[in-house]
Amino acid sequence: MWTRRRLLQAGVALGISLLWPAFTYSPKSSLQAVRDSLTALRRQKLVLSPLEGLTEFRGVLHAHTSLSHDSHGTVEEIIAAARQARLHFLITTDHYTTRIYTEGIQGVHNSVLVIRGVEIGMGCTRSSGLTRRCGSVLAFGCRDPLMADDRNGWDWEALFKTIRAQGGLSIIAHPRGLPDSGYFKQADGIEIYDIADAMREKIIDVPRELLQFILTSDKYPEEFMLPVVERMNWHLAQWDTLTRDRRFVGVAGNDAHQNLALLGRQLDRYDLIFRALNMHVLAPSLTEENIIAGLREGRCFASFGLLGDAAGFQFTAREIPTGAQRAVLGGELKMQDGLVLEVQSPIPGSLILLRDGVPIRREQGRLLRHGVDRPGVYRVEVSLRVVDRWRPWIFANPIYIRA
């Protein structure tokens, strides 16, 4: 939706574009350097041995179709984009309407598993100035429709119980806008990152960045998306706090709308947003039940496909000296002697192991091993060096070592 602020920014961007020849700065050379750096990184990818009994499936979580009031994407467009992005699954989360249950897509479409879900607004908060942020809950995997009371609206406590009773999953999206932090206690997980939020803050709300994106998006679409691949306004500290008491899944949401067009350019094409960010789920096979279970149990990690293909990444707990696998990411174990955590990356990078949100070990390369000497919630981040800076690439769900 175009607000007065965005229209003003578009006018500013257009005015700057008319004066562009007077500017001496040209982003093309730097974007080509980024492309060359990414190409060199991707050439180093190795295919790692798969984990026994589990297959890795790449997908997108949080996508909108024309059933949402702020999207115009057709079924044909979204499925074609999912195929182009090499997705195995796609979870749609249209803004709530009863039409979702009669017209929403579900099941296998052109070899892509589509899981139908909803996004339900939970209220808004205001931060500095006039900025308004709105939180919501994503619900998917439910067997039956979720229905609000016509007169009283949503009973949030009852909603979370209904989602859970139906075998569904509830994820808090846009957490900064959530009016009541108590909802976290009832949900199954949190959106630690939302690419639409990042695009608004890093590109859309900055006229110069918006202009550069317009002028270069045809030739360098992925390279110019890199400003959104930064550790800004993430919800990692909040996630680390929530995982201390129970398993609490962290996901990254694409929040794809394909609704941002300016000067004849579609800036947020489905295929670009789907390639930019992925959720990888470990499951026995590709079914809705298995994907939901994999997400619920934290057998998943988020990756920025803009940097490279993260397929094959592994985070496991093993026994010394046999090397036998005891748990994969999302798993829970009792503290015991002889446990070692092992991280394997398909592309060399900076591998960081965190315990209870605090970095405790860092290795550069493809492999990190750490002998467990105390209980904690252990998770992994991987960054790749692009040109002259490290950019976040992978965020894995934790392995829980309990006392």
pLDDT score of 209: 56
pLDDT tens column, 91-114: 999 999 999 999 999 999 999 999
* Mean pLDDT in residue range 357-366: 98
pLDDT score of 226: 81
**At residue 35, what is the residue type?**
R
Measure the CA–CA gap between 354 and 102, rounded to whole angstroms.
44
The pairing of strands 189-194 and 169-173 is parallel
Above 80 in pLDDT, residue 387? yes
318 φ, ψ to 5°? -130, 165
Above 60 in pLDDT, residue 311? yes
Cis ω on the peptide bond leading into residue 179 (within 30° of 0)?
Answer: no
Q: What percent of the chain has pLDDT over 90?
A: 70
pLDDT-based confidence at 23, cuts 50/70/90?
very low
CB 82 within 8 Å of CB 273: no
pLDDT score of 76: 95
Outline where 280-375 has alpha helix (H). Answer: 288-296
Contact partners, residue 123, CB within 8 Å, separation at least 6: 134, 135, 177, 178, 179, 180
Stronger pLDDT, 399 or 230, i.e. the higher one: 399
Give the CA distances from residue 32 to residues 36, 48, 212, 291, 356, in Å, rounded to whole numbers and listed in that order: 6, 30, 14, 37, 39
pLDDT score of 126: 66
pLDDT score of 340: 97
Q: What percent of the chain has pLDDT over 70?
A: 86
CB 341 within 8 Å of CB 372: yes
Range from 218-222, 225-229, 348-352 that averages highest in pLDDT: 348-352
Above 50 in pLDDT, residue 22? no
In terms of Cβ atoms closer than 10 Å to its own Cβ (0-12, 13-18, 19+), residue 333 is middle
**At residue 261, what is the residue type?**
A
Closest CA relative to residue 144, chosen from 169, 121, 166? 166
At 88, is the secondary structure helix, strand, or coil?
A: coil
pLDDT tens column, 148-160: 887 778 999 999 9
pLDDT score of 133: 77
Whole-number mean pLDDT of the chain?
88
pLDDT tens column, 131-140: 567 899 999 9
Q: Which of 127-131, 311-315, 317-321, 379-383 has the lowest mean pLDDT?
A: 127-131
Give the CA distances from residue 277 to residues 230, 231, 381, in Å, rounded to whole numbers and listed in that order: 13, 14, 15
Name the residue with tokens 């070899």. Answer: 111
CB 275 within 8 Å of CB 297: no
Which residues, listed in sequence order, are joined to residue 394 by a DSSP beta bridge? Answer: 303, 382
At 16, is the secondary structure helix, strand, or coil?
A: helix
pLDDT tens column, 33-59: 999 999 999 999 999 999 989 999 999
Domains of the chain: 55-298 (3.20.20.140)
pLDDT score of 57: 98
pLDDT score of 14: 47
Count CB-CB contacts under 10 A for residue 22: 7
pLDDT score of 343: 98
64 φ, ψ to 5°? -115, 145
Stronger pLDDT, 182 or 215, i.e. the higher one: 182
pLDDT-based confidence at 229, cuts 50/70/90?
confident
Q: What angle do CA 364, 369, 375 make, to 5 degrees?
A: 125
Measure the CA–CA gap between 393 and 303, rounded to whole angstroms.
5
pLDDT-based confidence at 7, cuts 50/70/90?
very low
pLDDT score of 26: 45
Fill in the DSSP letter of residue 247.
Answer: -
Count CB-CB contacts under 10 A for residue 164: 16
Count CB-CB contacts under 10 A for residue 201: 16
Q: What is the 3-state secondary structure (H, E, C) of 260-291?
A: CEECCEECCCHHHHHHHCEEEEEECCCCHHHH
pLDDT score of 155: 93
Fill in the DSSP letter of residue 334.
Answer: E
Q: Which of 165-179, 189-203, 212-226 has the lowest mean pLDDT?
A: 212-226
Measure the CA–CA gap between 391 and 25, rounded to whole angstroms.
23
* Mean pLDDT in residue range 20-45: 74
